[in-house]
Chain A
């Protein structure tokens, strides 16, 4: 408790924000019912997608926003998570052995942890190499590794190559019917809440304090005797695991995985979500994911030239706010209060 670093970055707690979280959670929890009430059943699926992407964006934010590691390759871990689900499912259906063992499965309790572990493993190997660089070089080397993994899956004919893999049925859970859209939404919601709670623990811990120290001045951290490389690697791996988790959920949601999940534009989209929502804020990336996806889907329904509206909107957002949506919110609140 007496750790000054920890005190410095501890979030300001007040009753109002606790109430707001509670309200948000209630709304999210009854969203399927609300969707029924407003006769918008497709909302549930859209909300599921947003929640999954929010997990991925928040995971990237842990590295990017809190530790200053601008990774342009997170789609790789996201895609690997998805492919773990796809490959395990395909072996389960065909009965073919994987690595000579009957490892195929469609049990979510197995596939999700495996997806997290495998993405974490890959993130550890490539992160260990990438972290030998920093700054723009780090951005580009993460991109390079992600592109290599992308081309690997494109060439992987045994698992569909460029066409991807169909997961005809969602992974199952004991006692719960995951095929129901609302049920799957709740599963994702619970996982997302757990993941965000974990992220909050991480960033408000002593570990998190070191991370933000690294972001501000790596040299200073090294000077007080902290091995920054190890911290950065750990955070990169956790971040990759989160992306893998999101990928595994997306494979279940879309019931389809393809190399598109690993393409650099997907990495870019995660970055956009983080920046749009506000890097280095806990819930910013979730808001960024929600706004980006909602704008995309609503504008596309409104006009086929939706990009000509979305593009300038993004530009204006950056020019007139600082820190994306979080900045916009601060601006608005400042205007109201002052």
Chain B
């Protein structure tokens, strides 16, 4: 009887995987994270991408498109499987959507080796930005380090001399601290590595209080950041030691979850919902109308990714089969980014301005993230110089 099991499993495999659908519109594959604590990141990227398609009436750059979305559950193995199915079964050439660097690290080489094009709406790990850069690999969001470089510059501009830095003990955390230190001119009086599965930061708060720095830089994305910020405020540190963070540690969702505990925190980002340009205004208004919530900067990246693809599709007449032509069209970045001036550097990662923001109470008493000024102008990344395409 045990033997029949394996047969029924094999038969089942064929039954459940139906024949491929007839191919009409151009299919774009989105592998993203929708479940678990990081789920809202993928959700915002997907929703904003869909919004861009909808605003063009089901098209991007004049070409009818169909977006296929699947949840990778933050598992690199699962993401690879989905990407492979997209490419082989659905014959998709153009993929996007990955949120987390470790998932991208596993999946992107596969996509490129199989002749696909990948446009990243979020993760921008350093290993693909330098020597390993690729002509069919674009990052619309940022190179990971630049987020924290802008925070370092912001802290320098604000005149702080003694900083304490905290990040989880994993690669992105270490990169964050390295990026911050690269642009922070003062002294770093303490480095603390936290854990990715940590929920209680009381021990770290006590250490910060004991070290008496002038400013704290911390990188704790998503739920980690919520717990960290709340406990920082509850420990009474917010009034004693100001904080400088990069965008991932305090996005619109985290702000909503933290409330007043975030008041006065300095953020640096490439985009904010109050940006005064036509593209951004349209995006924020339409996003709120459709989804009834504030877009996070993840959403802005999903939207920009769709616009960048649309611009390239317009130039190639809706075709991606000739990947060289498509890449060449992508490289021009001929679209109105919600973040204002935008172009691709030699490694096909963005060159754009970085801004300082601050959490403030508006006239209506609502908390909001307010843009204060520029931190870095037309900033590229550290790895671009070692890329030869």
A254 within 8 A of B: yes
A96 within 8 A of B: no
Q: How far is the CA of A250 from the CA of B76 in the complex (A)?
A: 12
**A283 and B196 within 8 A (CB):** no
**A41 and B105 within 8 A (CB):** no
Q: How far is the CB of B39 from chain A (nearest CB, A)?
A: 9
Q: How far is the CA of A254 from the CA of B76 in the complex (A)?
A: 9
Q: How far is the CB of A324 from chain B (nearest CB, A)?
A: 10
Cβ–Cβ < 8 Å partners of B35 in chain A:
304, 307
**B2 and A163 within 8 A (CB):** no
Q: How far is the CA of A157 from the CA of B81 in the complex (A)?
A: 27
B6 within 8 A of A: yes
Contact with A along B60-85 (1 / 0, CB 8 A): 00000000011101011110111011
B210 within 8 A of A: no
**B81 and A45 within 8 A (CB):** yes
Q: Check A20/B4 contact, CB under 8 A, given A39-B19, A256-B80.
A: yes
**B34 and A304 within 8 A (CB):** yes
Cβ–Cβ < 8 Å partners of B89 in chain A:
39-42
**B13 and A290 within 8 A (CB):** yes
Contact with A along B301-320 (1 / 0, CB 8 A): 00000000000000000000
B363 within 8 A of A: no
**A282 and B2 within 8 A (CB):** yes
Cβ–Cβ < 8 Å partners of B196 in chain A:
154, 162
**A154 and B109 within 8 A (CB):** no
**A255 and B109 within 8 A (CB):** yes
**A254 and B80 within 8 A (CB):** yes
Cβ–Cβ < 8 Å partners of A298 in chain B:
16-17
**B5 and A43 within 8 A (CB):** no
B170 within 8 A of A: yes
**Residue in chain A with minimal CB distance to B68:** A301
Interface stretch (choices A21-29, A102-110, A214-222): A21-29
Cβ–Cβ < 8 Å partners of B4 in chain A:
20, 329
**A300 and B71 within 8 A (CB):** yes
**Residue in chain B with minimal CB distance to A277:** B5
**Residue in chain A with minimal CB distance to B34:** A304
B7 within 8 A of A: yes
Q: How far is the CA of A163 from the CA of B89 in the complex (A)?
A: 29
Contact of A166 (CB < 8 Å), options: B6, B14, B20, B106: B106
Q: How far is the CB of B70 from chain A (nearest CB, A)?
A: 6
Question: Which parts of B168-215 form the interface with A (CB within 8 Å)?
Answer: 169-172, 174, 196
A121 within 8 A of B: no
Helix, strand, loop or mixed for chain B's interface? helix
B380 within 8 A of A: no
**Residue in chain A with minimal CB distance to B170:** A162
**A31 and B69 within 8 A (CB):** no
* A interface residues, tally (CB under 8 Å): 59
Q: How far is the CA of A272 from the CA of B89 in the complex (A)?
A: 29
**A294 and B1 within 8 A (CB):** no
Cβ–Cβ < 8 Å partners of A81 in chain B:
none
**B2 and A258 within 8 A (CB):** no
**Residue in chain A with minimal CB distance to B7:** A24
**A40 and B17 within 8 A (CB):** yes
Cβ–Cβ < 8 Å partners of B1 in chain A:
17, 326, 329-330, 333
Question: Which parts of A253-296 form the interface with B (CB within 8 Å)?
Answer: 254-256, 258, 260, 277-278, 281-284, 286-287, 290-291, 294, 296
A168 within 8 A of B: yes
**Residue in chain A with minimal CB distance to B90:** A42
**A256 and B76 within 8 A (CB):** yes
Contact of B6 (CB < 8 Å), options: A38, A286, A330, A333: A286
**A260 and B75 within 8 A (CB):** yes
B121 within 8 A of A: no
Q: How far is the CB of A275 from chain B (nearest CB, A)?
A: 14
Q: How far is the CA of A256 from the CA of B127 in the complex (A)?
A: 14
Q: How far is the CA of A21 from the CA of B3 in the complex (A)?
A: 6
**B88 and A326 within 8 A (CB):** no
Q: How far is the CB of B136 from chain A (nearest CB, A)?
A: 16
B125 within 8 A of A: yes
Q: Check A294/B34 contact, CB under 8 A, given A27-B7, A166-B106, A329-B1.
A: no
Question: Which parts of A218-258 form the interface with B (CB within 8 Å)?
Answer: 250, 254-256, 258
**B19 and A290 within 8 A (CB):** no
Cβ–Cβ < 8 Å partners of B174 in chain A:
157, 161
Cβ–Cβ < 8 Å partners of B85 in chain A:
42, 45-46, 297, 301
**Residue in chain B with minimal CB distance to A46:** B81
**A162 and B171 within 8 A (CB):** yes
Contact of A154 (CB < 8 Å), options: B34, B81, B101, B170: B170
Q: How far is the CB of A124 from chain B (nearest CB, A)?
A: 28
**Residue in chain B with minimal CB distance to A39:** B20
Q: Give 14 new A-B contacts, CB below 8 A, not counting A166-B127, A258-B76, A290-B10.
A: A27-B10, A38-B14, A42-B89, A46-B13, A154-B196, A164-B76, A166-B106, A166-B109, A278-B2, A282-B2, A297-B85, A300-B82, A326-B1, A329-B1
The 9 closest A-B pairs by CB, nearest first: A162-B170, A287-B5, A290-B9, A42-B85, A41-B88, A256-B106, A163-B171, A20-B3, A283-B2
14 A-B pairs, CB-CB below 8 angstroms? A20-B4, A24-B10, A27-B7, A28-B6, A45-B81, A46-B85, A49-B81, A154-B169, A163-B172, A256-B76, A260-B75, A260-B77, A278-B2, A287-B9
Chain A positions near chain B (C-beta within 8 angstroms): 17, 20-21, 23-24, 27-28, 31, 34, 38-43, 45-47, 49, 154-155, 157, 160-164, 166, 168, 250, 254-256, 258, 260, 277-278, 281-284, 286-287, 290-291, 294, 296-298, 300-301, 304, 306-307, 325-326, 329-330, 333
